[in-house]
Chain A
């Protein structure tokens, strides 16, 4: 199994541009989440999904959209990039019996720089 994969690994955007961060998992996990990591702040939840077709907001959802059309994929869209969205983004999944807030399996991250 590849686990949780994320693309791209690194991206530079200009203010106002849009882009999609891709996330896929091959473990048949029901729950998936997006986090951003900023220095000294740990990880903060952006959006999450408890199954295909079901998404909800986390702590810091503004400026981001998600959708979950399949169990495997959970893309994160930046609508109009801002310098404040410069961060490292992690996708994570967890299995059904534990619930969405149990053991997380993390992808390798996407480093985003917004100029």
Chain B
């Protein structure tokens, strides 16, 4: 069995400042971990994926995430937020028979 906890339901940042979205997971496997982004009224789009090749994963649009096994975390960061980053972000862990989605973090970017 696996589970995902996104520690913040809402994050508000100013344009040009760093973004940090926190995700903890539990899994009995060595899981694959994902971050997806959902812009308003759109489907989910893959930002990045961890599959054990490297602990620091680079994704699209300047996002990256670091896998820390000892902390069971997979936090998402971006050095400088852009207005277009306003969206909902989902941390996802794969398991033997399903994907488990976090509840989501809504990011607001202030001008």
Interface residues of A (CB under 8 A from B): 4, 40-45, 58-59, 90, 92, 101-104, 106-109
Contacts and interface: CB of A to CB of B under 8 A. Distances in A.
Range, interface on chain B: 20 to 34
Per DSSP, chain A at the interface is loop
Contacts, number: 50
Interface of B: 4, 9, 32, 34, 36, 41-46, 49, 90, 94-104
A38 to B, nearest CB: 10
B46 A45 contact: no
B94 A102 contact: yes
Contact of B98 (A40, A41, A59): A59
B52 to A, nearest CB: 13
23 contacts: A40-B9, A40-B103, A40-B104, A42-B4, A42-B103, A42-B104, A44-B101, A45-B98, A45-B99, A90-B44, A92-B44, A101-B32, A101-B94, A101-B97, A101-B98, A103-B46, A104-B36, A104-B44, A106-B43, A106-B45, A107-B43, A109-B41, A109-B43
Contacts of B44: 43, 90, 92, 104, 106
A58 B43 contact: no
A95 B98 CA distance: 15
A42 B49 CA distance: 18
Contacts of B98: 45, 58-59, 101
